[in-house]
A and B are shown apart, each in its own frame.
Chain A
Amino acid sequence: MIRWNDRWRFSMQVLSLNPIRTAILVITVAIGVSSVLILTSIGEGARNYINQEFSNIGSDLLIVLPGKKETGGGSLPMYSTTPRELTWQDANAIKQLSSVKEVAPINAGTALVNYQGLGREVIVIGSTSDFLQVRKLSIAKGRGFKQDERQRARHECVLGAKLKRSLFGSQSAVGKWVNIADRRYRVVGVLAERGESLGLDMRDMAIIPISSAESLFNTTALFRVIVSLNQFSHETTVKQQIIELIKARHEGEEDITIVSQNAMMDAFNNITQLVTAAIGVIAGISLLVAGFLMMNVSYVSVVKRRAEIGLLKAVGASKKEVQWLFLQESSILTLLGALVGVALGYSLVWLANTLIPYFSLAVPFWATLVSVLSAIVISIAFTWFPASNAAGVDPVIAMRGN
């Protein structure tokens, strides 16, 4: 049996004799491996981004939605309509629970926000002073809403940073009056720049007190209620407490749905992981193409080296040895290609992260492992037939050169 170092040296001599062929195959594998790494890094980057957004908001949150999620019958889960709306009074009752820290009732709609002829149609959120705390938002200029009960109906607003820039440019907005729909609101604060949060651009919205929003949108029905838990409260227990509380307030009818931040995070995680894996598989097709190219080149190599194969067999190489030599050549090429591909993939991801710092790509470790292993398995599978073909060469005929 040939020693591994001799087999390695023998293969390297063959590969170095055909530098262009070797380079083409290495590049082909490298492209396949780096494609898998780059595309899965986008999926992983998206997953990290979502996780980061959730952790910015905090994972100790419950979101109370009006209506009961129906899972029986029908093709998709539906939120049934409910005769009773979820109101600010319900939110206030939830706040009385000892297990609850903050409660932000949300009444939302879109409206035109206007200042001296400059206007923007934006999302207007009606809430309480707790809203800034539960969404982990901070004020750059001015103040938020006060906790005073009487503040709930005041005509005050807090503007997102982008909205403030659109309407006021570099001027100070605090203390100025803007029109939201047909009402006048005094700007009491401007939010700090933060970017998007779960698809909602916090920079491009206005926040007004809850009662004021009820009047503006002509409804007391809340869009949802965000509840943050006390440090030692147990999520499941609090959920049950809220359900019981609202059930009692709504004449015994369980007509709300509670989604926990953790459950949403898990769901997003599952989806993004699935999407990342699917993207990886699609990118893996390029590895198959590399495999076909390797098979083709190996067949050509077997034909060109028939005399050599015949000689090896004549001086004592078994069929298995000859097959191993060819398989090893393709394995070395694949390993080289995989190494180059990993280096290329990580370099491009690093470059992308340098150029686009606000969306961080991250190569998942499993993608590195799977892409390299897949490349090796594919190369062995695709070189198997040419290698078997080489092993079957008749030495007598091969050495005659026909």
Chain B
Amino acid sequence: MDVSPIIQLKDVNKTYLLGEQPLHVLKDLSLSISQGEYVSIMGPSGSGKSTLLNMIGLLDRPDSGELMLANSATRELPEEQRAVLRRDNIGFIFQNFQLIPRLTAEENAALPMMLAGIPIADRKAKIAHLFSQLGIAERLHHLPKQLSGGQLQRVAIARAMAMEPKILLADEPTGNLDQHSGGDVVDVLETLNKSGITLLVVTHDIALGRRAKRQLMMVDGVITKDSVSEG
């Protein structure tokens, strides 16, 4: 496995304005994550873990410091290039699935491929293969309202995997699922990680967080604990 850092943060700071009060969400944060790592980020609400995930996902920019993604500095990149970098390298999985209700499961999953201009035939083949791997092959033409929570999250995983990203970012991926469905979804994510994809999971769920090989604990915008589990 390639162990070179795919994500590097150097002295990253981020401040939001809460009314007129500045809220320092990330404080001189430095972090290095290697290709293929399985990392969980835990911490109380407001600790900055989601902001960190959005920063790594190029949805947000640091006020200062630098974020390197696959050895490319990203802070000063123009928005158009950040969009392409995000599309080609990063897959997102959200707590509330974020599927478009009017699109079928297949169309939802193929959204990043459509945005990349990939022909429809290639998209269909790819999504059919992914759905088959994720155990939802027969749900291709269903609308989101016709799917269960576990199935919705699998569709979201298929969407995240559509562009064969190097990094998967999951924000509370089991937050809206029952224990059984949540367990299945985590199994799927771990299988993907074993195939070489870097996996970052933000969670409140201690049990889920402990399944990751590397566990980060955040408090008040600072990583207070960075540990690697024995297993």
**What residues of chain A lie closer than 8 Å to B159, measured between beta carbons?**
315
| Interface stretch of the complex, out of B111-119, B175-183, B194-202, B222-230 | B111-119
Contact A314 B92 (CB under 8 A): yes
The answer to whether the Cβ of B83 comes within 8 Å of any Cβ in the partner chain is: yes
Residues of B within 8 A of A399 (CB): 94, 98
How many B residues have CB within 8 A of the partner chain? 27
Closest Cβ of chain A: how far from B1's Cβ, in Å?
Answer: 26
In angstroms, Cα B108 to Cα A13, docked, is 13
Q: Answer yes or no: A27 CB below 8 A from chain B CBs.
A: no
User: In the bound complex, what is the Cα–Cα distance between A6 and B115 (angstroms)?
Assistant: 9
Cross-chain contact A6 with B79 (CB below 8 angstroms): no
B48 at the interface (CB under 8 A from A): no
Measured CB to CB, the closest approach of chain A to B13, in angstroms, equals 17
Residues of A within 8 Å of B126, CB to CB, are none
Whether B120 and A318, one on each chain, are in contact in the complex, defined by CB atoms closer than 8 angstroms, is: no
Selected interface stretch from A56-64, A106-114, A198-206, A305-313: A305-313
A23 at the interface (CB under 8 A from B): no
Could you say which of B84, B94, B103, B119 contacts A316, with CB atoms under 8 Å apart?
Answer: B84
In the complex, the answer to whether B60 meets A315 with C-beta atoms within 8 Å is no
Residue of B nearest to A395 (CB): B59
Please, which residues of chain A bring their CB within 8 A of the CB of B83? 313, 316-319, 321
A314 in contact with B57 given A6-B114, A6-B120 (CB within 8 Å): yes
Per-residue contact bits, chain B 57-68, to A (CB 8 Å; 1 contact, 0 not): 101100000000
A contact residues around B114 at 8 Å (CB): 2-3, 6, 10
If the complex has contacts A13-B102, A396-B54, are A315 and B115 also in contact, measured as CB distance less than 8 A? yes
Is there contact, CB below 8 Å, between B111 and A315?
yes
Cross-chain contact B87 with A315 (CB below 8 angstroms): yes
The reply to whether the CB of B166 lies closer than 8 angstroms to some CB of chain A is no
Q: When the two chains form their complex, are residues A13 and B103 in contact, meaning their CB atoms are under 8 A apart?
A: yes
The reply on A1 being an interface residue by CB < 8 A is yes
Whether B117 pairs with A1 at a CB distance below 8 angstroms is: yes
For the complex, what is the distance from the CA of A396 to the CA of B159, rounded to whole Å? 18
CA distance A1 to B80 in the complex (A): 11
* B119 and A3 contact, CB distance less than 8 A: yes
Closest to A308 in B: B100
Q: A6-B120, A307-B98, A318-B80 are in contact. Are A312 and B115 (CB under 8 A)?
A: yes
A selection of 5 A-B contacts at a CB cut-off of 8 Å is A3-B119, A10-B114, A313-B59, A314-B59, A396-B59
Question: Which A residues are within 8 Å of any B CB, using their own CB?
Answer: 1-3, 5-6, 10, 13-14, 17, 307-308, 311-321, 395-396, 399
